[in-house]
Structure 1
């Protein structure tokens, strides 16, 4: 199964190098100037946003239920300025560029990214099915990793839920929840890969092995939520954690005598984590 390692290495480094490509759309001076103007006046070109006027007239922040019920002013300004800028680029003969790590897509039926919503919903359904089937298994009490996989299942479902919400309604609060849940899932799955691959069963040893990664994951989440939502840095961190665990699993499956189909199952799991 040596070929499997080469496949994993190729996939891993493809994702890793792709993570270092910066999004040039969101650093475009004209795009950023449009956002500043929109947030000041409530208008992006010919389009004026009603809830931006609400924000301008009211110094207090909108209640949470209103934020969830409709998109906030900064989010809509980013969207309409993106559409305006892409129309201009297209008229000049230029192709589309990424904004905040994503391609410029127009909303359909109010959904920010309908295809992403559909795929995230499908992923959510499969994760729920997998969690329920694992919970219903007659696991032996001697299996030392059951609790860890239970937590992993919960984090997977939680990440899928917020992915659906964020791709449906792309706002600051849903973006933070989506990023936070994805980082938590990747950080914990990396911890599991280390504990399982090195067969760490002793509780103090588990704490010692997982503490640095746990501290880093929490620190990164706090940085994103309280200091700066740096999409470029977050992508690099997430892809690095995904590649690391994919390589750990690849080495482990080559050293341990398990069924060949299980090896490709782990490969699929790793690629799915990278795609998320």
Structure 2
């Protein structure tokens, strides 16, 4: 629609143009003004709280807090407060420097020193116990730490029940050691074979005691090595007892078993790599299975021989 001619010029038309311009500017800046004067939106809701990963907490407090602040700290997931485990190691325990905040360095008693507990390992143990106490308060199940279930240290011993059981097993073998030694000196048949079997068992149980008292890389290696030697020797003894080879063939068989044992130990414990527990377990099951097959065959053969009135069935021992 065209405007009347009287509006096309003159003051009335100029006023209309000014009003239209002002309205246009107002409409243009109205959204900006609304945003500027509006209240800020509410903050987004916090993400749901994840369950506390206590294994991660322990790893952090051991790797960082022990050597930075001198003790292991733990954040309580219920209160959010950071607590310090009582009696944890201080900085002077770790690096020989001055004590932290005037506190005295942690003193280790004789049992801990003999079993080679130091600041880092003691800090790990105390942090583990603190984490497990927090987990029990929240009704959570125990978790493994560094590949092991939580334990209660007794006189520096990590697994007191297993250590006592290992002593009992080793003592049972040691009890018969004098009898076998006298029999071997008299050159009784197979006495030397079973004397060797007793000695490798005593060696294995000694390392088992040390391993359960204090798990260190060396005691871990020697414990598994002792078990490997026992299983390989058991199968060797079964072959010698069942088939009664000549001395020359028995020596050759011993060399073969020693070579197999060395190859197995090198395979399951490669340098700078994780111990191959699964392979070692399968190999040990295979050895003990072969042992029982040979011994059951020997026992069945002796039973048949005696049932026919053949006498001793291959001699004593």
TM-score by length of 1: 0.62
What does residue range 49-198 of structure 1 map to in structure 2 within 5 Å? 49=89, 53-54=93-94, 69-72=115-118, 75-76=121-122, 79-80=125-126, 82-97=128-143, 103-137=149-183, 141=187, 143=189, 145-198=190-243
Aligned equivalents of 2:285, 2:144: Cα separation in 1: 18
CA distance in 1, matches of 2:287, 2:67: 39
Partners in 1 of 2:151 and 2:127 — Cα distance? Answer: 12
Aligned to 2:18: none
1:202-257 residue CA offsets vs partner (Å, 9 max, x unmatched): 42x33444444422322343453744452633444434433432343233323323
- What residue number does 1:206 align with? 250
* Structure 2: runs of 5 or more not aligned: 1-54, 74-83, 98-111, 307-317
Higher helix share goes to which structure? 1
What are the residue-to-residue correspondences of 1:13-52 with 2, within 5 Å? 36-37=63-64, 43-45=71-73, 46-47=84-85, 48-49=88-89
Per-residue deviation, 1:77: 5.6
Looking at structure 2, the residues matched to 243 and 100 of structure 1 have their Cα atoms a distance apart, in angstroms, of: 31
| C-alpha displacement of 1:124 | 2.0
1:152-207 alpha-carbon deviations (Å, 9 max, x no partner): 2221111122222222222222222222222222222222223322333342x334
TM (norm. structure 2) is: 0.55
Point out which structure has higher relative CO (alpha carbons under 8 A, 6+ apart).
Answer: 1
CA RMSD of aligned residues (A): 3.8
- Answer with 1 or 2: which has the greater Rg: 2
Q: Distance in 1 between matches of 2:175 and 2:218?
A: 28
